[in-house]
Structure 1
């Protein structure tokens, strides 16, 4: 009985001890959390190691500089360490929750105390280099660490993009225009990107759900909320701003061989052949992190190349994954206007032990002068959470366009954004939406925007109608003499359904009035210039034209195009009535159906003459044509530089396919000819990493039926002094015609790959370009007036006249120097074939103005 009682007491004692231990353990758990910042810049510091002093217990800070560590041990101090900064130690209370924020101070003397007396510097080599061996392991494991490794993946994403005028002087800040608007400015530490004073101009935020499926491949983003600074649509196209900025600040995928940045491609430090272009160094081992990390620093072998420099942190848990990256570019890199660039990437561990991108923060400061003066600062922050893998959704989730904006995405209130953002906006960023509204009420700001619209876009806005383009108001040519023109177009302020465009012109030499009228009706209640287009248009034009002249993105009566080489006296008077239906789909497939009634009259030295059986020449007069047409265009993943009343495709790596068919019908609305014209084309940009990029365009056509020469394919010639990518720059107007042809254009930009290796050239940031064009074609006997007297004779003139291509193709090529003054490309063009044709130029110098980064 006594033994049983003793046993019961023992068990009770053990139970009490266990309960006491549990409560004691709970009471003695020490938790420390807080934020680590840079004492100089006040910016949060990621990847900093925080441990309990004299232990290996701890962790690291995230991208926002936040940390949280805990222990049941009796520790009263924490230690904070980071390479290049003084170690910080802070006292804490054991057994309690502690909030400790730490500002680390740079260790400016750590390197100054070291004296190196070594002899000859050891040459860098990849052989037997542990850093290179490590990066090769990272490369070998790339596939399994990418999103495409999963069959399915989904995540939520928050994105914030902002732009500001940067590095502003006190003189600018104190201008009279800002006297009562000092609240617009943002002050920050002068050492940060952008300088001390910023003037925020634009901000956009997005929340989205993202879905990925490997097979069949699908990637979809559903934007559930969108908030954007809104400018007056009279001056700025807000949707166009978004498209343009997204093109500049694309997603950074360090696992891709090439990373798109500002319309360029930079070689990733973990690209397949990165050891051939980068030097790698192991600069730290972070054993206090879980998993253990190796800090790998890298720098370009050629500091002028399209390459990054910085640090990546590699996990040592067998994944050889990138856990974090800090990327920047050398100041010598051949990127226009870029003063500073910094990209920070952070990755989180999935449930399966692999890593996914959790945050990306890209900052770029632009300026005409790289060392001083005002500029533009832009930042794009992307945060990813709720990452789920291999959890398939229904097929409907993945179908449809890649990006969908829900109907009420722009209607979310401030409270919604306050609860939904993964971080808190600083005061300046939070106030930008209201501040810009206030800025637009300043009369002087409105006046400045009005002038800027006229100078940059060429139009003067009057609300529902705008007048322009200004560069067509005055021009001249041999047929019309001095040409005066005035026109304009309606704006969406008048109607989102109806659009009108018109102009009138008068030639002082031919004493003729020219005019144009068009009316367009939008079928989807969107601007007819916005994607996807869906409209019908009717137009009539009575005007002059140079046969075979095709211009890219400029008006034919542009003043600068008045200056031409050689004889320029072969012209047409055209009367063209058109009716077109255009329909684009979300997958970037589009089709056009058209009706065209076209009357052509010869002008200048051009004559429509027919050789009669008695040997005399008969002036035919007017050529009447009636044509039905249909075309299909597919441009997968195409994006545009979107303006209020225009849009320009952005070249990308995806091909563009076109197929067109035209049917001439004799007897319909006065048409005189039956014929069929079939044309097909493919164009694509090829990115070649460090070797630049190549734009390739091919086209072919075949005309069935017998027609006079004005209805043959008149190949695109160029007699201006401006270089045109898709015209033949040493071919004379109407020099060659064909009823069947094939062509190819190759334009390769080396992006400074060669010039960057020449000491005298690399400082100028010039870029070398080569261009090649070839055209094969001919005219069948049934369409050749030399074999058929019923046809109009090929014209002759000061330039030698019109010819059919023979068995030899027309070939021309050029070598060019681009990026002169960051805007100008100058080509030295050489013509290789048909050099004996009268009036041709064997060589020529052409200029091309292009704004690029």
Structure 2
């Protein structure tokens, strides 16, 4: 009886509300599921379509007495709804013996010609750049957004688990999703109110955040940053819609006719506008597509309402459901403006119907539109700070006046629930564990310090053997204006301690003037990146890999001190100047040499490099989005390009510096979204060193002797196999996101993803530099790929067990070099969508 108590109470609560809720499955006369069948409340435009398995769920705030089920080639079925809640319905459709009249529609992979839905779609394409705010020179509007996370599929078995012992009070208020029909428990809420301004003439837009509030987590920017990256804005008229780092083909796309089937289902007056209703569903499985329907006006061909649901077969991980609704309001005879945007995601380890997970729900409401109020261009360059304490601490009257949609009962209770939960020791333990796994640091609040990173504790290399490292940093909050950081490490083979210390201070918030400095004494694998900056605390995976290919013995003792000044006068444009002093020597002199000719030494050979460098750095990252205003900000997107220009001037004599030289380096990285064919990532690097320098200061072509796939390196090159003083390198890597495998029947259900790569480098090494480092050539080849471009290519299979990618790498030339590796296998782990 106790097991039945909660379901009975929930059922009573459902029936007591003035709503219609239906759920079940649609089958044909052979008991096979009917995918993409139309489900509609009679005399309304509230509907949905069945999923790949014929299942459906539909909910309405209005009480309806009849459900209409239809599909091309079957007789329409009208089902009386005798109750407000009708679950586990079995709907069987019969094949139709009558010819359709008036409207001709197509099902399956039929011809796209003479299809009225496609003809309407073409008119949407022609008008899409004339709809909405695009019709006006300038625009402004209010934007209210709330993001909520809920635990879903709550049942009595879950409530009785030991993990919730002492937390039973959180289950007192449960609700059911109007999309899936599952019970859920709200656990997080974030609200934002902002004013958006735009100018179509000069193509400028900005958003001023006036209020920001979240439930109980002290404005944790890690959570907020995750949300901001997860739920980025989109335009349904675009050809591709990006969610979770994937590009889905929009049903309004010009390529939609090759991806979707369209059918004209109905027409009706909506807000006194005659509209057509078009149903769409994918032509093929396992592609990044939607199913759903939309209503479009018959004269402006502007969208009045649209819903999109990602098909369960779509090649996306950890997300079981994605459901989107957009409603547009009619301002006058020709203007349709976005009024409400709702997106619900069901995150789960499994796509099985009964699997538990977390709902992520974003609701965005737009209002108070204004048009043709011109602002100067400089107006769009000034940005508000969404993490300003004033913005974060708006009172209740502010939210009452500016919420464009009121909070419901459950949402109102989240703030109180989370405040209560944070006082429960057990919940705090769970929260701290998740925080450690996410950030890598253990928080010690009473000392305002973090210990970590936990992922760097253990390592191994041939110079140190097993290695332990323990670090810590000051941490008063996400927006600290200064931060101190350091670590201590010990190698069990060389029995030596190493350390690194660093500090950075934000001197001016407006220009983001930062002073930073530090010192590091450690063992490092140099030359794993051509254009790496001098990070005091950085450490390459090549120095800590547990297993490597061949002898990983070309390691360097490094003593690095630096002092830098950096500022950001324009958003995403960073300018830095500073100085570094390095002492370099071989960590394994018997196996690897950094020796060079030095007439001032008694033996004529020096083994240690002492070098002072002046550095000037310019980094431009257009499109990069960050949150926070402290000395360290969090990046919340990865679809931006990076241009880097670095100038290094080595000056002989300062602090006993050995060499006088100049080095110029340029790098350009760009991700390219190739429509529905995945993402291409490209990097071009160019550099030249002027003056004679020894091996330790030359540009090493980055090899990779680990078993980890590491973009920017050459996995079939050993460390120091090629060194240059002038170089040009290009890296290309394209992830098709399963586009090709989805067309192979035997591979389709595995949801594998194809990755191809091509990389090449050309460089030279002057005779002067070869002669200077001649003593080092005993066990390190002093050669550059100057005869022809060295290149490699690779084929990878990603998404193996949803977490693993394996790359098969092939060396294209220079195969006659000693110990050349013509083939290698590398891999990488990751929890990618």
**TM-score clears 0.5:** yes
2:567 alignment partner in structure 1: 583
CA distance in 2, matches of 1:648, 1:404: 13
1:783 aligned to 2:769? Answer: yes
1: CA distance between counterparts of 2:107 and 2:583?
A: 78
8 Å CA contact 2:228, 2:636 repeated in 1: no
**What is the rounded CA distance, in whole Å, between the counterparts of 2:44 and 2:790 in structure 1?**
70
Residue by residue over 1:599-627, the C-alpha shift from the partner in whole angstroms, topping out at 9 and shown as x without a partner, is: 111221122334699xx974412111000
Q: Say whether residues 1:278 and 2:254 are aligned partners.
A: no
How far did residue 272 of structure 1 move?
1.7
The answer to whether the aligner puts 1:544 opposite 2:523 as a matched pair is yes
Taking a change above 3 Å as real, the CA distance of residues 175 and 122 of structure 1, as seen in their structure-2 partners, is: closer
- Does the CA-based 8 Å contact 1:222-1:406 persist in structure 2? no
**C-alpha contact 2:578 2:616 (8 A) present in aligned 1:** yes
Aligned pair partner of 1:215 in 201, 221, 225: 201
CA contact (8 A) 1:825 1:849 kept: yes
Aligned to 1:340: 321
Q: Which residue of 2 aligns with 1:809?
A: 789
Matches of 2:260 and 2:236, distance apart in 1: 15
Deviations 1:170-197 (A, max 9, x none): 2332345645544433765667446633
CA RMSD of aligned residues (A): 3.6
Contact 2:148–2:190 (CA under 8 A) maintained in structure 1: yes
Does the 8 Å contact 2:595/2:608 carry over to 1? no
1:319 matched residue in structure 2: 300
Which region of structure 1 is more displaced relative to structure 2, 198-207 or 276-285? 198-207
CA distance in 2, matches of 1:674, 1:557: 31
- For these two proteins, the number of residue pairs brought into alignment is 766
Distance 1:169 1:710, change over 3 A: same
* Residue 472 of structure 1, CA deviation: 2.9
Question: Secondary structure of 2:545's partner?
Answer: helix
Q: Pick from 249, 257, 267: which aligns with 2:239?
A: 257
Deviation track 1:545-577 (CA, whole Å, cap 9, x = no partner) reads 122134999844799613111111112111111
Q: Which residue of 2 aligns with 1:159?
A: 145
Given the alignment, which residue of 726, 743, 768 partners 1:740?
Answer: 726
* Greater mean alpha carbon deviation, residues 508-517 or residues 272-281: 508-517
**Partner of 2:621 in structure 1?**
635
Confirm or deny that 1:659 pairs with 2:645: yes
Matches of 1:240 and 1:762, distance apart in 2: 35
Q: 1:561/1:103 Cα in 2 relative to 1: closer, same or farther (>3 Å)?
A: same
State the match for 1:4 in structure 2: none
Find the residue that maps to 2:655 and give its secondary structure.
helix
Partner of 1:427: 409
SS of alignment partner, residue 446 of structure 1: helix
- Cα distance in 2 for partners of 1:180, 1:265 equals 43
1:517-528 alignment runs, 5 A limit: 517-524=501-508
Confirm or deny: 8 A CA contact 1:575 1:598 kept in the other structure.
yes
Please state if 1:828 is matched with 2:808. yes
Q: Which consecutive unaligned segments of at least 5 residues does structure 2 have?
A: 1-16, 24-38, 46-57, 70-76, 101-105
- Structure 2 length-normalised TM: 0.84
In the alignment, which residue of structure 2 is the partner of 1:201?
187
Give distance in 2, aligned partners of 1:249 and 1:47.
30
| Superposition deviation, residue 109 in structure 1 | 9.1
Counterparts of 1:110-509 in structure 2, within 5 Å, are: 112=93, 115-116=96-97, 124-175=110-161, 178=164, 181-185=167-171, 192-193=178-179, 196-231=182-217, 238-287=220-269, 290-316=272-298, 318-351=299-332, 353-371=334-352, 372-401=354-383, 408-463=390-445, 464-492=448-476, 496-509=480-493
Change (3 A) 1:680 1:347: same
Higher Cα Rg: structure 1 or 2? 1
From the superposition, tell whether residues 609 and 150 of structure 1 become closer, same or farther in structure 2 (CA, over 3 Å): same
Which secondary structure does the structure 2 equivalent of 1:376 belong to? Answer: strand
Task: Kindly provide the CA deviation profile for residues 98-144 of structure 1, in whole angstroms up to 9, marking residues without a partner as x.
Answer: xxxx9798997997476558999986110111111111111111111
Instruction: Sort the Cα spacing of 1:217 and 1:402 in 2 relative to 1 into closer, same or farther, 3 A.
Output: farther
Following the alignment from structure 2 to structure 1, what is the Cα–Cα distance between the partners of residues 436 and 145? Answer: 33
* Alpha-carbon distance in 1 for matches of 2:67, 2:380: 44
Distance 1:288 1:148 in 2: 23
Alignment correspondent of 1:600: 584
Aligned partners of 1:172 and 1:809: how far apart in 2? 60
Residue aligned with 1:561, SS: coil
Separation of aligned partners in 2, 1:648 and 1:736: 36
Query: The residue matched to 1:784 in structure 2 has which SS?
Result: helix
User: How has the CA–CA distance of structure 1 residues 473 and 329 changed in structure 2, closer, same or farther, with 3 Å as cutoff?
Assistant: closer
The separation in 2 between residues aligned to 1:395 and 1:643, in whole angstroms, is 24
Map 1:9-28 onto structure 2 (within 5 A): none
Match of 2:13 in 1: none
The answer to whether 1:752 aligns with 2:732 is: no
Secondary structure of 2:832's partner?
coil
TM-score normalized by the length of structure 1: 0.82
